[in-house]
Every structure is written in structure tokens, then in C-alpha cells.
Amino acid sequence: MSYESNPKDLNHQDPHSEASNPQFDDSRIKDHPDKLLLSRIRKYFKAFTTGDFNGIRDLEAPEYNMTDIPLGVVRSAKNSWYEQNKGFTNLLYDLQVQAISLHGTSFPGAFAILEHVVWFKLKTDPPEAAKPNLPPGIKKDGKAGMINIAVLW
């Protein structure tokens, strides 16, 4: 996430924060002391679970690169990742995210690690190209989950 943070602002809500999102269960991390970090994570997952790809891209720094091992993506540049993420995520519906743990801070130069699970259902039977990245045998309306570790700085 590309916001500048000021250590004195850690207990204040980000002015760009989204209201509560029922598709993002943050009940396990809601008491994290860095409220600015929480606010930014909530905004990101609001955009992710609602398919707001422009909103996601707006949160990423210009030099952003993404590595997504399950999708076979390694160091994809910001604009390339935008298209890849949009293409794959458009196969999904009923996206829900459950945060498991959060460590770190939004201090400049620091990083945070978020462990979370992404649950989803498939809109259609998966195309052949997507099958290696999905649970074996999953079909249209099948539900699956992926455990993710995100490093944010």
C-alpha cells in the first residue's frame, strides 16, 4: 500500500478508510494497535472483495510488484498485475476474506505481515489455463479457500 504514514497518526483512522465490510472478517486483528494500518487493510479488502480493481491499483505504489505463487505470477509489474488479477478474479464470486493474524506497523520503512484466508466460488467451470491454480476437480459454483501471507510495506 502506498500511503505515507506518520508515526503520530497510528491511532487515527485513515481519512480514506472504508466503513465496515461484511466480506472482510477482521475480528481476529481488530485490536491491532496500528489503527492506520488496519484502516488501509480494510480499504484494500473492500476493493478486493467488491471487484474494484481501479481502487486496488490506486492503493499500490508506482513501483509495485506482485508475486502470487498459486497463480504462478513472479514479480509482475503494477499494470501487468492489474490485468492478471482482474482476469482471474472475474472468474470468482462470493469473495470473502478472513484475517487470521497481523504483525508489523505502517511506520515509514517498516512492513507488516497479514495472514488471511480468501474464500470464493467459481462463476463458471474453470478454463484449462486456470485449472492448475485451483483445487482439483472444482466446478462452477464450487467453493474453495486459499491461505495467504501478505507482506505489506
The 10s digit of each residue's pLDDT in 12-38 is: 444 444 456 899 999 999 999 999 999
Q: What span, in angstroms and rounded, lies between the C-alpha atoms of 52 and 84?
A: 14
**Of 150, 36, 153, 34, nearest in space to 99 by CA:** 150
Of 6-10, 90-94, 141-145, which range is least confident?
6-10
Decide if pLDDT at 132 tops 80: yes
Q: What span, in angstroms and rounded, lies between the C-alpha atoms of 127 and 25?
A: 30
Decide if pLDDT at 4 tops 50: no
Residue-wise pLDDT for 32-82, tens only, equals 999 999 999 999 999 999 999 999 999 888 888 888 777 777 788 888 888
**Sole residue written with cell 482471474:** 88
Q: What is the pTM of this model?
A: 0.79
Q: How far is CA 78 from CA 1, 9, 41, 68, 139, in A?
A: 12, 28, 18, 13, 30
Residue-wise pLDDT for 101-130, tens only, equals 999 999 999 999 999 999 999 999 988 887
pLDDT at 91: 86
Taking residues 130-136, report their average pLDDT.
84
CB 14 within 8 A of CB 40: yes
Q: Report the Cα 6 to chain-centroid distance in Å.
A: 23
pLDDT at 135: 87
pLDDT at 94: 95
pLDDT at 49: 92
Cell triple for residue 128?
484449462
Q: Are strands 24-25 and 92-104 parallel, antiparallel or unpaired?
A: parallel
pLDDT at 58: 92
**Sole residue written with cell 486459499:** 146
Question: Which residues fall within 8 angstroms of residue 147, CB to CB, at 6 or more apart?
Answer: 115, 116, 117
